[in-house]
Amino acid sequence: MGRFGRIFPRLLLFNVLLVFLPVAGLLYLDTYEQQILQSQERSMVQQGRVLAAALGGQGPLEEESSLALLARLEQRVDARLRIVDSEGGLLADSSRLGPKREPGDAPALDDLRGGWLYRAGARATLFVQRLFLGPPPELASSDVYDGVSTLVGREIQAALGGRYGAATRITSGGQRSVTLYSAIPVRDGEEVVGAVLVSQSTARILGGLVDIRLDIFRTVLASIAVAIVLSLVFSATIARPLSKLRRQAGEIVDRRGRLRSRFDGSSRNDEIGDLARALEVLSVQVESHQAKLESFASDVAHELKNPLASIRTATEVAGEVEDPDERLKFLRMVERDVARMEHVLSEVRELATLDASRNQPVAPVDVAAVTRAVVDGYALRQDVGPRIVLTFSEGPIDLEIDPEHYARILTNLLDNALSFAPPGTDIGVDLRSTTHDVELGVVDRGPGIAEDLREQVFDRFYSARPEAHRGDGHLGLGLAIVRAVVESYRGQVVCKPGEPQGAHLLVILPRSRPGRGPVPGA
């Protein structure tokens, strides 16, 4: 995976993207600046119109009257006012009547722009603007009117032609700002007798914008620093633990696919801690399942080994004896051992089928009807021996379970009880329904099961029968199958002593299946 496929670069990129919010605000300042400049231009136009109205209607413009009119303003306006005649000759200039209003606070503006932070931010902004908006237009210098008696700029020519004229020029004198020019015609009736030229530097406006830009530049730098710190923190708290889990996942299995270690747990209280603990539980369950599979395979091999050895011995001896009766005897031994092997394989296949069919969706079934049918089937097949007595509440008992699985549970429990119950005794089958569970109990009056063996009887290929009864077809898989089926439905099966004697096997199944995930330890 490439570098940018990692979490840290992604987090850093995401956090840095937040920096573009103040950057977008910086770019918006250009629009804000244009709006302010337009407002300044409108103000200049209004001043020029008022002055042109005061001069109009009096015939050709004269220098004396023009100077007198500007003098009455007493320099109460920020803009520079000039009055020219119909030939462009300069008649009056407000800057000659007192202290100049221009260039305003340009030195302070230059001081602000001289800092390293502003220069760095201005270069970055200029680069973005040229990238998306292209290079700015070239502007002439405002010194074109300095020291001349006749003004011939394009805005003057437009005003003397009876139109509004405007121009923008770079402020002279080394200032880093521009000067706006607005020219308004002065009329005497229908005749244009001169023009009023209003000019004003943008230094004061740009001074305020420079302060805003500097604040935004500081915000951008702070945002970048915070983004880097947050990315490092997130990397330490997210990326590194995930890398550790990935490393453990690569080391937990050897080349043969066997588990050789477990995931380490975590004391973290966040989602990564939950994931680490879940993986730890999962690895423990897989390890336990692997150990059970190995033990099961060993038990199956052991159960098949004995009949195979017996078959081999019987066939070898049968080939050497000449007596037909003796040969028939050995052949019957072979048939019995083959039948035993088939029985073992059939039980093993059923266990494998149960493992494969776990967690399949099931519909509610009336287990009371299934129980009655199974018990009636045993009553029809048995003429002598223990009697099965069924007790359960009236009415249907619904349970979310495969009816074949439930029948297999009851059948195995009854086969186990019948193999231990003495003739003439009763085997009790009790089916009860509670608010959340269904309980199925099978009680016999046999010798019972020792307390230290009550959990072991559910192990595969384990039988608590006396040695004399080990070869009568009981492989020790019946109760193991019961536990496998019950646990696949999130239930439990326990072995308790019977009253007054015997064994009581109790199965507890939830009425509704709460989950369909893997069963721990199953």
410 and 478 Cβ atoms separated by less than 8 Å: no
How many domains does the chain divide into? 3
Encoded amino acid at 1, one letter = M
Residues 6+ apart with CB under 8 A from 465: 419, 474
Q: What is the CATH number of the domain that holds 441?
A: 3.30.565.10
Neighbours of 518 (CB within 10 A): 14
Domain assignment present for residue 457? The answer is yes
**Coil/strand/helix, residue 137:** coil
pLDDT at 351 over 50: yes
- Phi and psi at residue 179, in whole multiples of 5°? -120, 130
Residues 6+ apart with CB under 8 A from 342: none
Tokens of 401: 């379970």
Specify the range with the lowest mean pLDDT, choosing from 161-175, 331-345, 388-402, 460-474.
Answer: 460-474
pLDDT at 19 over 80: no
Question: Same structural domain for residues 320 and 408?
Answer: no
Longest dimension (CA), the chain: 159
Residues 6+ apart with CB under 8 A from 248: 261, 263, 264, 279
Question: Same structural domain for residues 192 and 56?
Answer: yes
Mean pLDDT over residues 393-416, rounded? Answer: 86
Residue range of the domain that includes 276: 252-356
> b/e per residue, 297-311, with b = 16+ CB within 10 A?
eebbeebbeebeebb
Question: Same structural domain for residues 387 and 341?
Answer: no
What share of the chain in percent tops pLDDT 70?
Answer: 74
Specify the range with the lowest mean pLDDT, choosing from 70-84, 122-136, 234-248.
Answer: 122-136
How much is the pLDDT for 331? 84
Specify the range with the lowest mean pLDDT, choosing from 1-10, 228-237, 247-256, 323-332.
Answer: 1-10
Tokens of 210: 């420079």
Question: Same structural domain for residues 193 and 93?
Answer: yes
Cis peptide before 103 (omega within 30 of 0): yes
Q: How far apart, in Å, are the Cα atoms of 247 and each of 51, 168, 173? A: 83, 66, 68
Question: Same structural domain for residues 411 and 267?
Answer: no
Question: How far is C-alpha 58 from the chain's CA centre?
Answer: 80
How much is the pLDDT for 107? 44
- Specify the DSSP element, H or E, that contains 429: strand 426-433
Domain assignment present for residue 230? The answer is no
Cα 418 to Cα 53: distance, rounded to the nearest angstrom = 125
Question: Same structural domain for residues 435 and 344?
Answer: no
Picking from 495, 482, 489, 485, the residue whose alpha carbon sits closest to that of residue 510 is 489
Picking from 481, 476, 346, the residue whose alpha carbon sits closest to that of residue 407 is 481
- Phi and psi at residue 120, in whole multiples of 5°? -65, -45
Of residues 369 and 206, more confidence is placed in 369
pLDDT in tens, 394-405: 778 888 888 888
Q: What is the CATH number of the domain that holds 117?
A: 3.30.450.20
Q: Which residues on adjacent β-strands are paired with residue 348?
A: none
Tokens of 16: 């840095």
Question: Same structural domain for residues 130 and 180?
Answer: yes
Question: Same structural domain for residues 264 and 155?
Answer: no
Q: What is the dihedral of CA 480, 483, 487, 491, to 10 degrees?
A: 180
Q: What is the CATH number of the domain that holds 351?
A: 1.10.287
Question: Same structural domain for residues 272 and 143?
Answer: no
Q: Mark which of 356, 372, 388 sits at the end of a domain.
A: 356
